[in-house]
């Protein structure tokens, strides 16, 4: 089984697991997890090929979901079902996990993604290519990598998010924590969604960002086919990164849904 790294925040018996998106890490949800205390204990998971979790030789949503499910069974969900929140790629993992392991999940929250093929592969190809183009042997400070990315990636916030994946080892050499080669090669898989013949009949909160186009009207039929108890909420003033663009609204929606 792929080794999974996760961080626990909180002491409550009510539990929620967070799954991040492409290039992300569990710690991206630290602010939300702290805000959900004391009602909820959060587990912030690094998905395979990200953060401190192990790398694999390919990307597969079913394998990722099963890996996380096995990890939860051994500890965080050992005493019964937990709540699950997934954003973007992590939202697809969360949906597959709920469909394949419904006994593990009480309530599901899917953030700005749909159970269908996603647009945006070109954008992510550009971002991954820009990171791969950096000669890490010349980097002695993170700011040097930031300087090299300023032309291909002008948005400072996006650069900062991506550079969270750059870590100095014990030998003081910088390396990418994310498995860039595999993620870049398997972008078509990441953009897709597996064909699954199952339904998850527990409550589901489907959150979309007002200015994002990852959740569209044509996605609703398939979403409700797989998750018949879905409630769709649109967060005003948010794009794809709902939890970082409108954190108060995001946490409020989670608290209301998960503690109902």
User: Tokens standing for 73?
Assistant: 């069974």
Residue 1, number of CB atoms within 10 A of its CB: 9
Question: Please, which pLDDT band fits residue 20 given cuts at 50, 70 and 90?
Answer: very high
Q: Collapsing DSSP states into helix, strand and coil, what is residue 47?
A: coil
- Examine the residue annotation and report whether 130 is marked as an active-site residue of this protein: no
Class of CATH domain 5-117+193-258: alpha beta
Q: Is the pLDDT of residue 119 over 90?
A: no
Q: pLDDT tens-digit profile of 164-189? A: 899 988 788 899 999 999 999 999 99
Whether the predicted model's global pTM rises above the 0.85 cut? yes
Which one is catalytic: 60, 66, 146, 181?
181
- Examine the residue annotation and report whether 58 is marked as an active-site residue of this protein: no
- Examine the residue annotation and report whether 252 is marked as an active-site residue of this protein: no
Range 92-97 contact pairs with CB under 8 angstroms and sequence separation of 24 or more: 92/61, 92/193, 93/19, 93/47, 93/61, 93/64, 93/65, 93/68, 94/19, 94/65, 95/193, 95/200, 95/226, 95/227, 96/61, 96/62, 96/64, 96/65, 96/194, 96/196, 97/65, 97/66, 97/68, 97/69
Which one is catalytic: 88, 118, 208, 212?
88
Domain locations in the chain? Answer: 5-117+193-258, 121-185
Crossing angle between the packed helical segments 156-163 and 142-149, to the nearest 10 degrees: 140
Q: Is the pLDDT of residue 120 over 70?
A: no
Mean pLDDT of 75-91: 97
What does the pLDDT read at residue 1?
Answer: 61
């Amino acid at each position: 089984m792929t080794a999974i790294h996760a961080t626990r925040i909180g002491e409550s018996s009510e539990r929620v697991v967070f799954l991040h998106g492409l290039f992300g890490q569990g710690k991206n949800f630290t602010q939300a997890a702290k805000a959900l205390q004391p009602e909820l204990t959060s587990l912030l998971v690094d998905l395979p090929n990200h953060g401190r979790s192990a790398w694999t030789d390919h990307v597969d949503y079913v394998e990722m979901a099963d890996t996380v499910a096995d990890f939860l069974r051994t500890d965080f969900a050992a005493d019964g079902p937990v709540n699950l929140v997934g954003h973007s790629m992590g939202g697809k993992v969360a949906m597959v996990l709920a469909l394949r392991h419904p006994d593990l999940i009480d309530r599901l929250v899917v953030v700005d993604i749909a159970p269908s093929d996603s647009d945006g592969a070109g954008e992510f190809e550009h971002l991954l290519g820009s990171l791969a183009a950096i000669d890490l042997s010349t980097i002695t400070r993170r700011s040097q990598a930031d300087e090299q990315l300023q032309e291909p990636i002008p948005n400072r916030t996006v650069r900062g998010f991506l550079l969270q994946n750059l870590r100095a080892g014990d030998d003081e050499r910088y390396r990418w924590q994310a498995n860039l080669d595999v993620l870049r090669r398997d972008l078509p898989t990441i953009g897709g969604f597996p064909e699954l013949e199952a339904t998850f009949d527990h409550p589901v909160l489907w959150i979309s960002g007002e200015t994002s186009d990852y959740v569209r009207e044509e996605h609703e039929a398939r979403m409700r086919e797989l998750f018949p108890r879905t409630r769709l909420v649109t967060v005003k003033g948010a794009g794809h990164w709902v939890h970082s663009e409108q954190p108060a609204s995001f946490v409020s929606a989670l608290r209301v849904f998960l503690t109902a």
